[in-house]
């Protein structure tokens, strides 16, 4: 006779390779890695130049602001297309980036901001290092 309760108490065998294997997130396709790199560059540009008063920094910040604010899905590298391809809530990311761009500078923010160990996630080779915004020295 077959005992159903006894079959539930049977041990399962797991190999050490199965138990200790670290779960890996699914690899992004090369196209999605490129899209992630574009979005990452926009975020780092906002963080680096949001308090910069130079023409170069202001121009880069305006370019990012225009790109983020534009609601277009016809172009594969538009902000909305990238967020959709990466399964991100585009409106949430857009609100956060625009809030960072338009946040008024504080006294503490007048000093150069250091982003310790900003890790670039796009690509096979990760760059880990300190990102210090370029500041012109007033003379």
Name the residue ranges covered by the structural domains of the chain.
28-131
Residue 56, SS3? Answer: helix
Q: What is the pLDDT of residues 33-50, one digit of tens each?
A: 999 999 999 999 998 888
- Please say if the pLDDT value at position 7 is more than 90: no
Confidence band, pLDDT 50/70/90 cuts, at residue 51: confident
Distance CA 2, CA 29 (A): 49
Distance CA 78, CA 86 (A): 12
**Contact present, 85 and 32 (Cβ < 8 Å):** yes
Mean pLDDT check: name the lowest of 12-26, 64-78, 95-109. Answer: 12-26
Q: Which of the pair, 119 or 80, is modelled with greater confidence?
A: 80
Closest CA to 25 of 17, 33, 35, 37: 33
Confidence band, pLDDT 50/70/90 cuts, at residue 17: confident
DSSP lists the bridge partners of residue 131 as: 115
**pTM of the predicted model, to two decimals?**
0.63
Backbone angles phi, psi at 115, to 5 degrees: -105, 90
Residue 19 to residues 26, 27, 114, Cα–Cα distance (Å): 19, 21, 40
């Amino acid at each position: 006779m077959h005992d159903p309760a006894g079959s539930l108490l049977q041990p399962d065998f797991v190999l050490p390779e199965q138990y200790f294997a670290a779960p890996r997130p699914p690899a992004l396709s090369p196209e999605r890695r490129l899209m992630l790199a574009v979005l990452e560059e926009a975020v780092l540009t906002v963080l680096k130049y949001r308090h910069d008063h130079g023409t170069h920094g202001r121009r880069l910040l305006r370019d990012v602001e225009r790109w983020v604010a534009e609601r277009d899905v016809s172009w594969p590298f538009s902000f909305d297309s990238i967020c959709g391809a990466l399964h991100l809530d585009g409106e949430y990311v857009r609100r956060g980036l625009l809030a960072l761009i338009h946040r008024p500078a504080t006294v503490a923010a007048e000093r150069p901001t250091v982003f310790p160990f900003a890790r670039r996630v796009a690509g096979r080779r990760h760059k880990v290092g300190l990102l210090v915004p370029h500041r012109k020295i007033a003379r």
